[in-house]
Amino acid sequence: MRNNLNRRSFIKGASAAAAGVSSINSGNAHANDSIKKPELRKSSVNYLERTNKAYMEKFTIIDAHAHIGEGETFPIPFSYEKDLVDTQNVLGVKANCVSHLTALGVDYSKGNDLAIEAAESFPGRFWCYAVANPHFSNDIIHELTRAFDKSSYVRGVKLHPSFHSYPPIGPNYNPAFEFANERSLTILSHTWGSAENMIKIATKYPNTKLIHAHAAARWAGTKDHIDRHGIGIHPFLEAAHDYENIYVDLCASVAYYGVFEQVVDIAGADNILYGSDTPYMDAGYQIGRVLLADISDSEKSKIFGLNIARLLGIDV
């Protein structure tokens, strides 16, 4: 059984005991609620050098949030497995963790099979999230069991409350949570709706590992910032810091300058995952957020691949 310790409480208690003080300032850079200008960190590094192969080869890059296939909401060029592998080769990405757009679209079961086909066609280049559709709740256990039994490339569960227009932790998802808990699986969701939701599920199903999609990158750098959907990002970052089985992934088209390093400061590199959402978005853009970041190479290694490898049991 995974340890679901609330790390912040543990650290507070241990520190207090060591220092003999009764209250601890958590050291959170945003302990106050006022607007704080993100700090521009100076560096003497030539950033363009970080795009050289010699530097990039330091990292095992596994894209924790990607897709295969097409949808019609907008044209998605180069979206099938062969082209995605081409892009991986250009970027030095070892593998993409994918859900199939057909599974998120018109046919979840066929889509899950298509993802498996792609993974088996390009061994080691794709790891699959099996999609669970809440509108077919009675079939979730059967479908997930089928997908996981069918292929060892299936490693996680994908939920999409947004596409499926269903509450993020509504009761129809319970079979998916139970399945994942029983098998100690990772669940990636777009999205969990709130940090409270994640904490509720993470606590109730302590063997699961939960990833909040698109969380880490649209934050504007202030504690009370809410995005256009009325969601506050900061609580997710704090939850990722506090709970070992809560994670955030980075993929998002919007990135505010000077903020990503604070994301790492608050959530901690151990609980952040690089993802590009490719082919919905160009992975060449998304990789820059981490590759050129003012964080240590050790932190980059975790975010780029070691964390997701650990979550999905991928051998690196």
Choices 18-26, 129-137, 177-185, 258-266; region in contact with other proteins by CB under 8 A: 258-266
Nearer to other proteins, 155 or 160 (CB): 160
Contact status, residue 79 vs residue 96, Cβ threshold 8 Å: no
**Using rule CB under 8 A, residue 162 touches other proteins:** no
Contact between residue 54 and residue 291 where contact means Cβ atoms under 8 Å apart? no
299 counts as binding other proteins under rule CB under 8 A: no
Among 68, 180, 188, 259, binds other proteins (CB under 8 A): 259
Residues 9-48 binding other proteins (CB under 8 A) are 35, 37-38, 40, 42-43, 46-48
User: Between residues 93 and 312, which has the closer beta carbon with respect to other proteins?
Assistant: 93
118 belongs to the binding site for other proteins (CB under 8 A): no
Residue 188 is given by DSSP the state E
The distance from CA 241 to its chain's CA centroid, rounded to whole angstroms, is: 14
Q: Find the shortest distance in angstroms from Cβ 300 to other proteins.
A: 13
Contact flag: residue 256 with other proteins (CB under 8 A)? yes
CA 23-247-286 angle, to 5 degrees, is 125
What is the β-pairing status of strands 209-212 and 186-189? parallel
# residues near other proteins by CB under 8 A = 52
Which one, 86 or 182, has the nearer CB to other proteins? 86
Residue 258 lies near other proteins (rule: CB under 8 A): yes
Gap between the terminal Cα atoms of the chain: 23
- Closest approach, Cβ 33 to other proteins, in A, equals 14
Amino acid at 275: G
- Alpha-carbon gap, residue 242 to 41, rounded angstroms: 26
DSSP-derived letter for residue 19 is: H
In angstroms, the CA 59 to CA 56 distance is 6
| Binding to other proteins in span 78-97, by CB under 8 A | 78-79, 83, 87, 90-91
Rank residues 134 and 161 by Cβ distance to other proteins and give the closer one: 161
* SS3 of residue 297 by DSSP: helix
- Considering the complex, state which of residue 32 and residue 43 has its C-beta at the smaller distance from other proteins: 43
Q: How far is the CB of 250 from other proteins (least distance, A)?
A: 11
Residues 191-220 that bind other proteins (CB under 8 A): 220
Give 304's DSSP letter: I
How large is the C-alpha radius of gyration of the chain?
Answer: 19
Q: Which is nearer to other proteins, 88 or 151 (CB)?
A: 88
Stretch of 121-129, 164-172, 235-243, 274-282 lying at the interface with other proteins (CB under 8 A): 274-282
Q: In what order do the strands lie in the sheet with 272-273?
A: 61-68, 93-100, 126-131, 154-159, 186-189, 209-212, 246-249, 272-273
* Torsion angle defined by CA atoms of residues 163, 169, 172 and 175, in that order, rounded to the nearest 10 degrees: 110
- Residue ranges binding other proteins (CB under 8 A): 35, 37-38, 40, 42-43, 46-49, 51-52, 73-79, 83, 87, 90-91, 220-222, 225, 227-228, 253-260, 278-289, 291-293
